[in-house]
Amino acid sequence: MDGTGILNLLLVISVLLMQIVYSETQNPRIYYMHIKSDVKFRFATTLVTSKVANSAKTPVEAHFEVTLPDAAFITEFIMEIDGRTYPGEINEKAKAKEKYDTAKKRGQSAGHVAQKPRHTNRFSVDVNIAAESKVTFNLTYQELLERVYEEYEHIIYVDPGQIVEDFQIDVYIQESRDITKVSVPPLRNDILSDANEGKNALALIERPTQRSATIHYAPTANDQKQMSDQGISGLFVVEYDVQRKFDAGEVMVVDGYFVHFFAPEGMDPIPKDVLFILDVSSSMSGTKIQQQRDAMDSILQDLHEGDQFNIMEFSTRANLWQKTLLPANTENKQKARDYAKNMNANGWTDINTAMLKGIEFLNAIPSAGSTGNRMKILVFLTDGQASKGEQNTDYILKNIDRKNIKGLPVFSLAFGNDADYEFVKKVAVKNKGVARKIFEDSDASLQIKGFYNEISSSALQNVSFKYLDKNADVTVNATKMNFDTFFNGKEIVIAGKLSDDNVQVLNLIVTGNGVDGHVELELESDIQSRVPELTKVGDLEKITERIWAYLTIKQLLEKAIGENDELEKKTLNDKALEMSLKYKFVTPLTSMVVTKPDERDLGTFEENEDAGLAIADDSVAPKLAGFSSVSRTSSRTQSSSSSGSRTSHYHARRTGSGGGGGGGSRGGGGGGDPHFMLRINGIEFPICFDVDARDGDVIRMLKDPIAGITINAGIIGSTVKNKQGEFKTFVGELVILAPAARIDIKPDDIIFNGAALSWNDESVFEMEGIKIHVNRNALHDRTVYIDFGNDIIIEIRRLMKEGTDRDVSYLNMYIDNEKGISDMAGGILGQFVHKKTTLFKIGLDKKGREHGHFRETENMNKTHFNAILHKKPDIITGEMVWCWNVHKKTEGLLAGDIKDYFISDIGYA
């Protein structure tokens, strides 16, 4: 562009994602929604105003979900009710929750905004709208836009869930350099595409000056109806470029605080020595392995001349494709593409061996001599958790630390919902890399390729920043000033406070190592004269200070993720909390509460669950936070390691917890007395319930007419009585019926189509497209994994009475992979695949126990049930875990009558 660099701001105006939980009689109506986004020098402030009316003569409960960019912090939330304004108050999460609960006990209407677990871009607001009244919501948030592919992304979901009569979005952009292009494509969805998008015909763009732009988008009710009967749904996007050159960047100083933006153009990428460490375990089978093949095919084609590369596949073993790195020439890239196309998924997941072998391989490659600067990187992808070799993630991280003495950067990908993102993130944070979650969808290969594109264009290494006045450092409490790598198309932002208000001239020096050696860029600016590169604008009061606070909090939380010492992690949390409260940011450590005083309305409450990977164990007060998937994974892995057993990757995958308010099941099992446990997407703890059964009963666990799979459980009695004085019963037999197979499983034997298999044979048995693999547990216990080859996997654990105090030997089963189960499935476990289960309220009983109020939705039918947070034995491991225990009357949880799940013949399909 004639020497002009591109700075595309992909501005997706953050809109309130409103999802109404309707009452049985009247729907609240959103009649007004305005979004105003003010973008000044990459710092975006967005105000969402939404007005909701309840025309009914009774109060109506509404639940709003706010989808924000994952980098954004809410700064203000105001409710306007009956002409009065109720501003929010930002408190430490525990105090915010306490104030909300107090208002709930008084019967007042209250709104509570709290960050949901694992999804830092999702917030929620709950409110009760009084009869024949209106409520206005004003939500403000701020974000420092990140530069990716020479674009800044500010992503918001526009989805009010209905047609809004008065709907508009206004964007105001002001930059310190000339804006060279502004465009608005059509509404997007979350799926990546490389197709040409075109333009949004309803967006009006104006250019008041060379350095400013405005965008106005106001679809009429008819325009919205043409998109959908539910109105607009998608991402509103504004793209713009600014003039850029090869220099030390631009600096802004306001009220003694400075912000420095560094993104020089025109630098050649540094040649790479790259090792791809790719998971090919059996859990990668099907769509995922094909998407990995497709992604690698694109990545290999785009390797730069001068790069060197190799590939390592790992599952039960870790195997290098070549003994050394190969130059990225046409011949070698084609050979690698042919190799990648033939990758097959099979075996366990030995992450520890793969990582250590990969680091050792790259460390053995001689460093570049007179040929110029080179960069060594590891790209690591996995879709599960360690199931072979060392399985304790803390030990694996320590092993990587010990092996990676040369500081190789590790860029990590967690592929799919079952991947251990926490571990993958820590690997990256502790090893100078970046982590990314790859979602299981049709664009997964594009996600993988896009991630590699981001980290493959290193232009500078060992980048350092200095801010001097007469050769003396003049910064105080500056954010991070030393970076391992600067990537082309991205941007480094530094902020801090000047130590002396009398500084006249700021001498800025940036140094690093480029493709041809040492690089030094310098900017000398007169603060008092306010030359274009160094501005002091009166109407931008506090903007640099807020950017500094924003960056500092982000970096403190990021550092906490890689910190093993809980005391040090707590110190980092305390610093971030102090700044969050001072600058009024809703972060993983804080929440905002708005309470309407002196009025008695019913409200709703959505519980804070997991505050995020950066949070120390004792830094968040709500009771649930103490039982995160982190602690459960660690304790479970340690206990299995100490007994010398091998945990399968199927078992390990189940320990991760989801976030949010609810969804369909992601695994369920039964056994014990008969005891059932369901893991629901979006609900941290599983749902547990018991079924009264007698010796000789048969329970239908699963029946899927589309997949052709039926699982029936035979009940056996014992001589042990429960607390009610009744004899305990257990699952003593399972019969699995598939299109070409019948499998009979008892604690003593496994029969496949009449042929006997042994519980002691750990080799993989395969017949009729079904794989069976037995895994050894403690003592005589075993777990058998049955993979039907159609995205359905179950695991069955036998628990023998020999050598224990058990009265009988029995079985527990768990549906580990249910993607292949259709919406037509029934049975005690099968029905939950196509139901939506939501935890919408949590309270305390007189004994101080947590009570959960659940809602189930299926084909527009809604039912409710209650549960108490209680400890129960895990279906497979037997370990005591927290779960939502449903009362014996399962009305509202199970479809129909409980008797409908009992059948007369265990072999009946």
Whether 335 shows a pLDDT value over 90: the answer reads yes
Delineate the domains of the chain, giving CATH numbers in brackets. Answer: 29-242 (2.60.40), 250-267+460-590 (no CATH), 272-440 (3.40.50.410), 666-903 (no CATH)
The confidence score (pLDDT) of residue 113 equals 45
Q: Count the neighbouring beta carbons within 10 Å of the beta carbon of residue 435.
A: 21
Q: What DSSP string runs through 465-506?
A: EEEEETTEE-EES----EEEEEETT--EEEEEEES-TT--EE
Flag whether the pTM goes above 0.95: no
Asked if residues 328 and 309 have their Cβ atoms less than 8 Å apart, the reply is yes
Please tell me the distance from the alpha carbon of residue 90 to that of residue 113, in angstroms, as a whole number.
Answer: 10
Asked if residues 524 and 466 have their Cβ atoms less than 8 Å apart, the reply is no
Give me the residues paired with residue 535 across strands. Answer: 252
Residue 42 is given by DSSP the state: T
Reported as a pLDDT band with limits 50, 70 and 90, residue 626 is very low
Out of 469-478, 764-773, 782-791, 838-847, which region has the weakest mean confidence (pLDDT)?
A: 838-847
Strands of 388-544, DSSP E: 410-415, 435-438, 458-469, 472-473, 475-476, 482-487, 492-498, 505-514, 517-526, 534-535
Please tell me the distance from the alpha carbon of residue 825 to that of residue 664, in angstroms, as a whole number.
Answer: 13
Reported as a pLDDT band with limits 50, 70 and 90, residue 783 is confident
Q: What DSSP string runs through 693-745?
A: --TT-EEEEEEETTTTEEEEEEEEEEEEE-TTSPEEEEEEEEEEEETTEEEEE
Residue 887 is given by DSSP the state: P
The confidence score (pLDDT) of residue 25 equals 39
Strands of 41-198, DSSP E: 43-54, 60-67, 73-81, 84-87, 89-92, 110-113, 122-129, 133-144, 146-148, 151-154, 157-158, 166-174, 179-183
Closest CA to 788 of 775, 772, 810, 808: 772
Reported as a pLDDT band with limits 50, 70 and 90, residue 869 is confident
Strands of 546-632, DSSP E: 590-595
Strand order from edge to edge, sheet including 203-206: 84-87, 73-81, 133-144, 43-54, 29-40, 166-174, 212-217, 203-206
Whether 452 shows a pLDDT value over 60: the answer reads yes
Out of 211-215, 293-297, 497-501, 739-743, which region has the weakest mean confidence (pLDDT)?
A: 497-501
The confidence score (pLDDT) of residue 329 equals 95
The confidence score (pLDDT) of residue 549 equals 92
Mean pLDDT of 138-152: 84
The residues, any chain, with a CB within 8 Å of residue 253's CB and separated by 6 or more, are 498, 506, 527, 534, 535, 536, 544
The confidence score (pLDDT) of residue 294 equals 92
Whether 634 shows a pLDDT value over 70: the answer reads no
Mean pLDDT of 120-142: 76
Tokens linked to 427: 């690997």
Please tell me the distance from the alpha carbon of residue 436 to that of residue 560, in angstroms, as a whole number.
Answer: 18
The confidence score (pLDDT) of residue 144 equals 87
The confidence score (pLDDT) of residue 206 equals 96
Burial of 614 (0-12, 13-18, 19+ CB in 10 A): buried
Residue 263 is given by DSSP the state: -
Whether 823 shows a pLDDT value over 80: the answer reads yes
Please tell me the distance from the alpha carbon of residue 333 to that of residue 276, in angstroms, as a whole number.
Answer: 13
Asked if residues 811 and 733 have their Cβ atoms less than 8 Å apart, the reply is yes
Please tell me the distance from the alpha carbon of residue 60 to that of residue 21, in angstroms, as a whole number.
Answer: 9
Residue 792's Cα: distance from chain center in Å?
Answer: 24
Mean pLDDT of 377-397: 90
The residues, any chain, with a CB within 8 Å of residue 58's CB and separated by 6 or more, are 23, 25, 26, 131
Asked if residues 466 and 473 have their Cβ atoms less than 8 Å apart, the reply is yes
Question: Which secondary-structure segment (H or E) carries 687?
Answer: strand 687-690
Share of the chain above pLDDT 70, in %: 80
**Which value, to the nearest 10 degrees, does the dihedral of the CA atoms of residues 637, 386, 435, 70 take?**
-50
Mean pLDDT of 355-377: 81
- pLDDT tens, residue by residue, 218-260: 999 999 999 888 889 888 888 888 888 889 888 888 888 889 9
- pLDDT tens, residue by residue, 538-574: 445 578 899 999 999 989 988 888 887 888 888 999 9
Mean pLDDT of 774-782: 69
Whether 636 shows a pLDDT value over 60: the answer reads no
Tokens linked to 232: 């607009």
The confidence score (pLDDT) of residue 239 equals 85
The confidence score (pLDDT) of residue 332 equals 95
Whether 672 shows a pLDDT value over 60: the answer reads no
Please tell me the distance from the alpha carbon of residue 748 to that of residue 732, in angstroms, as a whole number.
Answer: 10
Whether 179 shows a pLDDT value over 60: the answer reads yes
The residues, any chain, with a CB within 8 Å of residue 726's CB and separated by 6 or more, are none
- Across 24-33, 152-161, 259-268, which has the greatest mean pLDDT? 259-268
The confidence score (pLDDT) of residue 631 equals 22
Tokens linked to 713: 């459980």
- pLDDT tens, residue by residue, 691-727: 888 889 999 999 998 889 999 999 998 888 776 777 8
Whether 2 shows a pLDDT value over 50: the answer reads no
Share of the chain above pLDDT 90, in %: 28
Please tell me the distance from the alpha carbon of residue 718 to that of residue 674, in angstroms, as a whole number.
Answer: 12
Task: Supply the Cα-derived Rg of the chain in whole angstroms.
Answer: 29
Closest CA to 112 of 781, 604, 784, 475: 604
| Whole-number Cα distances in Å, 301 to 48, 323, 333, 336 | 44, 21, 7, 9
Out of 132-141, 195-204, 221-230, 770-779, which region has the weakest mean confidence (pLDDT)?
A: 770-779
Whether 875 shows a pLDDT value over 80: the answer reads no
Reported as a pLDDT band with limits 50, 70 and 90, residue 262 is very high
SS3 string of 619-669? CCCCHHHHHCHHHHHHHHHHHHHHCCCCCCHHHHHCCCCCCCCEECEEEEE
The confidence score (pLDDT) of residue 640 equals 25
Please tell me the distance from the alpha carbon of residue 638 to that of residue 655, in angstroms, as a whole number.
Answer: 13
The confidence score (pLDDT) of residue 349 equals 92
| Angle at CA of residue 554, ends 550 and 555, nearest 5° | 120
The confidence score (pLDDT) of residue 220 equals 96
The confidence score (pLDDT) of residue 341 equals 94
